[in-house]
Each structure stands twice: as structure tokens, then as C-alpha cells.
Amino acid sequence: MATSATHRGWKLKHNEGILAAVYNGAMPGTTLLAANTALDGVLIGTPVTPALAVDSLVFSNLVASGDLLLAANAGGNSQAWLWVDSSAGTMTLYAAGVEQLRTALGSFVINEGSADLNFRVETDGIQYAIYADGGKNALVLGSNTDTSSADQLITVSRAARTATASTAYYDIVIAPAGAVSTSGTTPTVASLALNEPLITKASGTITNATTLYLASQPTEGDTTNSTIFFGAAANIACTTSLTFNEDSADIDFRFESNGNANMLVIDGGLDTIGIGGAAVASQTMTITNAALVAGAGRILKLAGTVAAPNHTDGYGAFEVDITSSGTVAGTSAASSTWLNFAAGSVPGSNIICVQNNGIYLPSGITASSAKMIMGMRMQYVADDGANPGSLYCFSTNIFSNALTAIFDVNAIADLGGSTGAQASNDYKIPLLRDASAGVTWYVNVYHS
């Protein structure tokens, strides 16, 4: 052994400087060598090293690109335990001659030899906090036992622990940090992307191929258990079609609002829809006002704008088109409208009507030659020329109560009439117009 007078240590040399070691023999309590400082015959050139305290042992190769090997005799055969490849810039850790761990400048590889080796990291209370099973090609997170499976790439298995009441615990949280854009445009942060697996049937029957499966579990303090929960600002965006219950199973869909538990109901077994209430078996769609509506409220409103109306004769913006597929067995009607009073009173000053129809023409609209029909236009179409036994424009059924009048007008002039020629109290009212002849027919009326 040669003594270094400069640093008061010992240097071990083999083959003229290929391997050297120094034992720092400075006084205790002091740092012998500062960081990145050369040491004669041991650390040469411009070293990149930490500071060396007293009683330090250094192994160093003195020849450029020379390697360092730590070997031990195991049963008569030398086996590698640690190898530093200077030219490759890697360090490899072996166990029983099999590579276990390799680190390189800027990279870290475990089991690069692809052997059947396992890797496990424990935490305080979790034995398999991170566990990689080399034989099953599986990864386990957060378990106290080996729950790895060759059929599951990643298994998240929460270890048993005592939860605090009303405190949320999560198995996986994907919370990307806020992205900052430097180009002036809004960046896109992808939290989680799921793709449908490509499954090729080799034999047997594929009964279920699921990209994401969510199973509902009980939640403390919840009277309703939610499989999927969206926050107040949640949004679902689709760039293609979205299908619910594609298997056509007897599965119901229900949407609640702030005050109605059945705002929208789709009954998979009845094949019916309910809006504002439960679906009814005999009705394709049922609209129910479950709550009281204010005096000026509406149960249903159809509103829209038609740029240039050009409907086919007999049709309009709102259409009811019912086709009879068999012999009429009783009364048949395309639509019915009833105004039912369940309670309360009807003062005499109010107007009660089943329908209230009208036409609004704002100022500036030119409609001098248009035909204005306030109520409705009645048509009877029979392609084969068949005629019914009787045909009526109106039919009244008021249980023999006498009508006050057929029409109620603000003034008799609203009917477009004129004074008759028979008596001073006669009045001639236009009853109908023969469109083909261009003749108007009148009826004389008088008051007593």
C-alpha cells in the first residue's frame, strides 16, 4: 500500500491505476475533500463528486471508459453483483448472477432481462402498495395481499382501513393540473380516454365486451345510491351517436328535476314515455303536470319560427296524423281537448273556452287579399269517392241544455252583416261564400 502525503490516506492500485481506492485519514469532525475536487491518483481531471467526509472509502477507475465490477464467490464460482459500465453510462445490479436493476444517465430500468422477477414496494400499512408480477405481467396497486392476475393488467385493490364518517376515499383520482397556454389559444387537457377493446372471437361465445364497467356500491349517508355522479358543472359532449340500452332490455330511464322525480321517464318494459309523471301502458307518451301551475302557466308549449311557410294543403306546423288500420269499432277522433274544473268557482265575468285560436298581424304586414280563417278549416278527403252516412261541420252535445247563442260577438258588425230589407230589426249576415261562383249567401236574422 502507498501512502498519499498530500491527503494522508491510503491508495490501492492494481495494474498501474486501473482501480484505485483511498481511505481518508483526516482528523475526525472535518471534511477532507470538497465537492468536485481532484484527488491525486484517485479522482482525476475535473471530478463531478460530492464532498467527502472523514473515514470515506472511494473506488475509482483511472483509465477512460474502464468498467467497475463487484463480484463475490458463491459456491466456488464468481458471480457479478454490481457492474458499472463507464462507456455506456449504466449501473447494473445483479442477484445470483441475474440482472435485477439497471440505471442509466436519465433512465431507470428494473428487470431489463425480462425474467420472471417480481418488484414490490411497501408503505406504512400496505404491503403491496406497488407490486409488479413478472410472471403474470400484472400490476397491483394498494393491496395487502398479492391480488395479481394474468387476466388483469392493473388491479387496484384497496387495503382495509377505517374510514372517517362523511369523508370521501378514492381508489383512483385523475386530476390534471391546470394547463397554461402561451400561444393565445385554450389548451385541451385529456383526463381519461377509454377505447373499445378489439376482440377477435376464436372459439366459444363472447357474452360481454365492456370498455368501462361501473358497479354501484353503497355510500354512507346516501338514501339513493349513484353509480355515476356528476358535479354541478358537469357536461357530456358527444361527437357521434349515443345509445342507451342497445340490448333492448327491460331497463327504465328516469331523469329528476328540482321538484319532480319523474321529469322524464322511459319505461323499457312498457315501451312508453312519461313527461312530468309515470309512463302509462296504454299511452305512447304521457305528459302530466305533477305540480300546480301558476294562473298564467302552461303545461306544454310548442313554439317555433318558419321563415317562409309553404305547408301542403291540409297540413300545418303542428300536425296530428292518425291512421286507422282496421274497421272502426266505435267513436273515432284524431284529437280531443277537454277543460276540466275539479274545484273552485267560475265568476261570470270570465271567459271560459276549450280552445282560444287567433291570428296576429302586426303593423306593416301586407295581407289584404289573403283569406283569414279565425278558427279552423274543415276538410273531408275521400280518395275513392266514398261518402259517409252523414257529415257535419259541428256537433253539439250539451245534455239538452239550451244554447245561449251559436256565436258570441262583441258587436253584430263583427259578422260583416248589414241591415235587412224586410223590417227595421232585420239583419243580413253572410253565411257562406261559394268560391267557385264568387257569390256570397246571406241569412236574415232579427231580434225581438
- Whether 351 is covered by a domain: the verdict is no
CA distance 66 to 84: 9
Helix or strand holding residue 255 (H, E)? strand 253-255
Residue-wise pLDDT tens digits, 28-40: 555 678 889 888 7
Asked if residue 86 and residue 136 are part of one domain, the reply reads no
In this prediction, residue 58 has a pLDDT band, given cuts at 50, 70 and 90, of: confident
Asked if residue 90 and residue 146 are part of one domain, the reply reads no
CB 21 within 8 A of CB 42: yes
- pLDDT of the residue at 401: 80
Asked if residue 93 and residue 32 are part of one domain, the reply reads yes
In this prediction, residue 291 has a pLDDT band, given cuts at 50, 70 and 90, of: low
- pLDDT of the residue at 381: 81
Mean pLDDT of the chain: 79
In this prediction, residue 8 has a pLDDT band, given cuts at 50, 70 and 90, of: very low
Q: Which of 289, 316, 346 is the last residue of a domain?
A: 289
SS3 274: strand
**Mean pLDDT within 91-119:** 83
Q: Which of 270, 289, 308 is the last residue of a domain?
A: 289
Q: Is the pLDDT of residue 208 over 50?
A: yes
Asked if residue 82 and residue 23 are part of one domain, the reply reads yes
In this prediction, residue 175 has a pLDDT band, given cuts at 50, 70 and 90, of: low
In this prediction, residue 1 has a pLDDT band, given cuts at 50, 70 and 90, of: very low
Asked if residue 91 and residue 126 are part of one domain, the reply reads no
- pLDDT of the residue at 238: 83
- Whether 138 is covered by a domain: the verdict is yes
**Cα dihedral sign for 431, 437, 439, 442?**
negative
- Whether 338 is covered by a domain: the verdict is no
In this prediction, residue 25 has a pLDDT band, given cuts at 50, 70 and 90, of: low
CA distance 87 to 235: 55
**Mean pLDDT within 229-254:** 84
**Mean pLDDT within 155-182:** 66
CA distances from 296 to 259, 293, 301 (A): 19, 8, 12
Asked if residue 95 and residue 7 are part of one domain, the reply reads yes
SS3 326: coil
- Whether 110 is covered by a domain: the verdict is no
In this prediction, residue 7 has a pLDDT band, given cuts at 50, 70 and 90, of: very low
In this prediction, residue 253 has a pLDDT band, given cuts at 50, 70 and 90, of: very high
C-alpha grid cell for residue 60?
Answer: 475509482
273 has which bridge partners? 266, 285
Asked if residue 81 and residue 12 are part of one domain, the reply reads yes
In DSSP notation, 23-92 reads EE---TTSEEE-TT--BTTTB-SS-----EESS-EEEEE-STT--EEEEEEETTEEEEEEEEETTTTEEE
Domain count, the chain: 4
- pLDDT of the residue at 24: 52
Q: Is the pLDDT of residue 131 over 60?
A: yes
Asked if residue 82 and residue 6 are part of one domain, the reply reads yes
Asked if residue 51 and residue 17 are part of one domain, the reply reads yes
C-alpha grid cell for residue 21?
Answer: 481506492
- Whether 212 is covered by a domain: the verdict is no
| Percent of the chain scoring above 90 in pLDDT | 17
Asked if residue 51 and residue 132 are part of one domain, the reply reads no
- Whether 206 is covered by a domain: the verdict is no
**Mean pLDDT within 346-368:** 88
CA distance 99 to 278: 67
- Whether 219 is covered by a domain: the verdict is no
Q: Is the pLDDT of residue 372 over 60?
A: yes
- Whether 406 is covered by a domain: the verdict is yes
Q: How many angstroms from the chain centroid is the CA of residue 424?
A: 77
Which residues form the domain of 127?
Answer: 118-159
In this prediction, residue 181 has a pLDDT band, given cuts at 50, 70 and 90, of: low
Asked if residue 76 and residue 151 are part of one domain, the reply reads no
**Per residue in 367-380, is it b (16+ CB within 10 Å) or e — as a string?**
eeeeeeeeeeeeee
Residue-wise pLDDT tens digits, 149-158: 998 899 988 7
In DSSP notation, 115-138 reads -S--EEEEETTEEEEEEEETTTTE
**Higher pLDDT, residue 272 or 388:** 272
267 has which bridge partners? 272
